[in-house]
Structure 1
């Protein structure tokens, strides 16, 4: 039996219990929550390994909750909604969800997606830890940006900045090759893994989050291509 805890957040009791039943059959631990406010308390008391999150919730909606969680961690999030609108799907992905499933959906399909996201995410975490152990350069400096790799810490303009796992991975990728322009597809493979199947808008959202945390960090948009970290006077 695995120890993954999956939180199912939906104000529809029937859907919540159905999803929990199917996940329990696969030996996942589950917790059912009716609102984002309950989910936030769960996050602080006993953080789940994954979220299955309804968009339409009483009080705080699923989009806002997703945004809050994503500002702190990169655990997988699957959003579910009755809205079969491309704009809604894109918004969910831009806010940091890993997947978007439209109601009514097959519980078996949901379970399959849960398995895939958990395998990808925790395999990625293991790879990051192994890579960290093999890292020959404990520090990387580009201008006023400093990465303490072994401790996974970031300093910008002399101040320490709290970053999530993917934010650190993106900054490390840029800092190791300053001035090099990366395509969105390259970034997806290097940061998310080559089995990621979501939208490349996830890259734009991750860059936006970093820019918000680190004012004046010279991450430049390369029109029609992707992004690069500028290092004036540095080598290409």
Structure 2
């Protein structure tokens, strides 16, 4: 009796990284490096072309430069964030500190200063993709409702499995980094979380960020919640200590 034929396993779906930069050398070298690491890549040389493509056919993550013709990286990020929570890393020069702060305030997940090593960029990409894919750790069943994965804290409801956030029943769109920071705060209401603790919650061990990065994400979190509730004040600043979440 002949053995039934078996189908070969389906090839793994490659994650796609979009690169947006007017420097053809960077597009070519980074694209080759990412493909060697198993990623698929798409490249765009200006912000206007990239915006339409990122919205019509979203990749898993985008990396783009700030200084570009037609539409610079900051305006691209601004318009993208109005319609998408796509993870974004942006590239900046070492002397462009105001652009770094503005990019984080607009909702970038991370930034890397030029000149950069491809190894560092790939590590940052992998770190952000891991954060968006890791199964969430259960925070306990007390006051979380019937679904143990859903976090309910007063007027806040978070569903880590679906990456959904509601405030008074109204949806709030968060990036991966913003979601993880809020989750760390909401998991223990009233407990002060230092900036280092929030960094640990939102970033992997192989990624270093400074205080300004966390502060920028907190500011953007508040702005997003105040867009649906002008009186939002659940994220409190404890000067010199960190931040806490109150569900009162």
TM-score relative to the length of structure 2:
0.75
Q: Which residue of 2 aligns with 1:131?
A: 137
Does the aligned pair in 2 maintain the 1:7–1:50 contact within 8 Å?
yes
Deviations 1:115-163 (A, max 9, x none): 2113222332343x2526x864244333322234554432212323333
Instruction: Select 2:41's aligned residue among 9, 26, 30.
Output: 30
Q: Which residue of 2 aligns with 1:49?
A: 60
Q: Which residue of 2 aligns with 1:98?
A: 110
Q: Which residue of 2 aligns with 1:212?
A: 223
Q: Secondary structure at the match of 2:113?
A: strand
Q: Which residue of 2 aligns with 1:116?
A: 123
- Which has a greater percent of helix? 1
Q: Which residue of 2 aligns with 1:61?
A: 72
Q: Which residue of 2 aligns with 1:19?
A: 30
Does the aligned pair in 1 maintain the 2:17–2:63 contact within 8 Å?
yes
Instruction: Select 1:221's aligned residue among 215, 227, 237.
Output: 237
TM-score relative to the length of structure 1:
0.78
Q: CA RMSD in A?
A: 2.9
Q: CA–CA distance in 2 between the matches of 1:173 and 1:143? A: 16
Deviation at 1:97, TM superposition (A): 4.7
Q: CA–CA distance in 1 between the matches of 2:26 and 2:160? A: 43
Does the aligned pair in 1 maintain the 2:153–2:247 contact within 8 Å?
yes
Q: Which residue of 1 aligns with 2:8?
A: none
Does the aligned pair in 1 maintain the 2:166–2:172 contact within 8 Å?
yes
Aligned length, in residue pairs: 224
Q: CA–CA distance in 1 between the matches of 2:236 and 2:63? A: 34
Deviation at 1:228, TM superposition (A): 1.0
Q: CA–CA distance in 2 between the matches of 1:15 and 1:121? A: 21
Considering only CA atoms, is the larger Rg found in Structure 1 or Structure 2?
2
Q: Which residue of 2 aligns with 1:230?
A: 246
Does the aligned pair in 2 maintain the 1:52–1:80 contact within 8 Å?
no
Deviations 1:44-85 (A, max 9, x none): 23222333312111222112223444563252414144x634
Q: Which runs of 5+ in 2 are unaligned?
A: 1-11, 142-147
